Amino acid sequence: MTEGKIKLRKEDTVQIIAGKDKGKRGKIIKILRDKDRVVVEGANIVKKAMKRKSQQDRGGIIEVEASLHISNVMIVCKKCGPTRIGYKMDGETKQRVCKKCGEAL
């Protein structure tokens, strides 16, 4: 099993620790492994202008989640809040755990 720098997974709940959405929590909806970035639901919203595709299409502004660098998010432990990811061997399988309290993540 190869492991990249990103220990986070899709669906993980993370807290934003820097930038305009600092303190906000959300689920990871996308991981950009080659860029060390993640997209978090409802966080780092940016407005994008859409081009008109046809005469009927009014185009306009849509809001989308922009990616965040992994150093700006922290996984949230159910017990103690934002934390770092540690690993524990559970028999043959490596388990992700909270570095603070040891709770499985």
Long-range CB contact pairs, 92-95, < 8 A, 24+: 94/1
CB of 2 to Zn ion, least distance (A): 26
> Can residue 100 be called a binding residue for Zn ion (CB under 5 A)?
yes
Between CA 80 and CA 96 the distance in angstroms is: 15
Q: Which is nearer to Zn ion, 14 or 77 (CB)?
A: 77
Closer to Zn ion by Cβ: residue 65 or 100:
100
Whose CA is closest to 16, among 32, 7, 27?
27
Q: Does residue 79 interact with Zn ion by CB under 5 A?
A: yes
Q: How far apart are CA 32 and CA 89, in angstroms?
A: 27
By rule CB under 5 A, what count of residues binds Zn ion?
A: 7
CB of 99 to Zn ion, least distance (A): 8
Three-state SS for 35? Answer: helix
Task: Please say which residue, 42 or 102, places its beta carbon nearer to Zn ion.
Answer: 102
Q: Which residues bind Zn ion (CB under 5 A)?
A: 77, 79-80, 98, 100-101, 103
